[in-house]
Chains A and B, each alone.
Chain A
Amino acid sequence: MNRSLLVGLLAFFLVFVGLLLIGAGWLVLSIPLVVYLLEGLLRGPEKVVLEAERTLSQERTNPGVPVIVTLRVTNHGPTLEQLILSDPLPAFLDVVEGSPSRMMTLRHGETLTWHYTVQGRRGYHAFRALSAIASDRLGVFTRRLSIPTSGQLLILPPVPRLRNLVIRPRVTRVYAGAIPAQQGGPGVEFFGVRDYQPGDPPRWINWRASAHHERTLFSNEYQQERVADVGIVLDARRRVNEFRGGRSLFEHSVLATASLADAFLDQGNRVGLMVYGQFINWLAPDYGKLQRERLLQALARAQPGESQAFSGLVVPPRLFPAMSQIVLVSPLLDDDVSVLLRLCAGGYSLIVVSPNPVQYEKNLLPASPAATLAARILHVQREVTLQRLRHAGVRVVDWDVECPLENLVESALSHPPAFLRAILQGGGRK
Chain B
Amino acid sequence: MIRFLFIGMLVGSALALGIGWAQTSLPALEVLPGVLAALWLVAVLRGFSWASSVGFSLMVLLSAVGLSKGMLLPCALVGVVASLVAWDLFAFGQRLRYAASDDYPVRLELQHLAQLGVVVALGLVLAWISSTVRLAFKFEWQVVMALIALGGLSTLIGWLRRNGE
Which residues of A are at the interface with B, using a C-beta cutoff of 8 A?
Answer: 1-12, 14-17, 19, 21, 23-29, 31-37, 39, 41, 82, 84-86, 98-99, 101-104, 114, 133, 137-139, 141-144
Comparing B7-15, B26-34, B61-69, the segment that makes contact with chain A is B61-69
Contact A25 B67 (CB under 8 A): yes
Contact A86 B98 (CB under 8 A): yes
Contact B122 A84 (CB under 8 A): no
Task: Take A19-B149, A35-B126 as given contacts and tell me if A103 and B96 are in contact as well, using a CB distance cutoff of 8 Å.
Answer: yes
Residues of B in contact (CB 8 Å), total: 50
Contact A31 B126 (CB under 8 A): yes
Residue of A nearest to B157 (CB): A8
Residues from chain A with a CB closer than 8 A to the CB of B116 are 138
Contact B100 A99 (CB under 8 A): yes
Task: Take A4-B164, A36-B119, A103-B95 as given contacts and tell me if A28 and B53 are in contact as well, using a CB distance cutoff of 8 Å.
Answer: no
Which residues of B are at the interface with A, using a C-beta cutoff of 8 A?
Answer: 53, 56-57, 60, 63-64, 67-68, 73, 76-77, 80-81, 84, 88, 91-92, 95-96, 98-103, 108, 111-112, 115-116, 119-120, 122-124, 126-127, 130-131, 146, 149-150, 153-154, 156-157, 160-161, 164-165
Residues from chain A with a CB closer than 8 A to the CB of B80 are 29, 32-33
Residues from chain B with a CB closer than 8 A to the CB of A7 are 84
Residue of A nearest to B127 (CB): A31
Please list 7 pairs of residues, one from A and one from B, whose beta carbons are closer than 8 Å in the complex, sorted by A's number: A6-B53, A10-B57, A19-B146, A25-B73, A28-B130, A41-B156, A139-B91
In Å, the complex CA distance between A32 and B118 comes to: 11
In Å, the complex CA distance between A37 and B122 comes to: 12
Nearest Cβ on chain A to B63's Cβ, whole angstroms = 6
Contact B126 A29 (CB under 8 A): no
Residues from chain A with a CB closer than 8 A to the CB of B77 are 28-29, 32
In Å, the complex CA distance between A164 and B92 comes to: 62
Contact A14 B119 (CB under 8 A): no
Nearest Cβ on chain B to A176's Cβ, whole angstroms = 59
